Amino acid sequence: MEAIEDFGRKLKELRKEAGLTQKQLADRLWLKKSTVSYYEQSVHYPSPEIIVKLAGIFHVTTDYLLGIEQKKQTIDVTDLTDEDIELLENAVKILSRKNCPD
């Protein structure tokens, strides 16, 4: 049950950080406000489809929402070219080596 409670807490935190009310989030998901409230209270758990939608809305991974990973930062590369994405990946590798030397 801990993962479900953690999900509800994370959802509420992300919603508030985004400046959304439960009603506004519910409207974006085509759900009732009470459903979002139930998710946040850990009374109900969302379907995989809703989890994917939530990850997109809050720009986090589904693994973060599910408590599998602790980092919530992601980079949205939707409008970048393949070349731009490759540059970013290389920059991440360089920074990782700099910050975590062998």
User: Rounded distance, CA 16 to CA 20, Å?
Assistant: 6
Nearest to 23 by CA among 32, 15, 14: 32
Spell out a b/e string for 42-51, using b for 16 or more CB atoms within 10 Å of the CB, else e: beeebeeebb
Per residue in 62-86, pLDDT (tens digit) is: 988 988 887 766 677 788 898 988 8
Nearest to 64 by CA among 9, 1, 23: 9
pLDDT in the model for residue 4: 53
pLDDT in the model for residue 1: 47
The residues near 24 (Cβ < 8 Å, ≥ 6 apart) are: none
pLDDT in the model for residue 86: 87
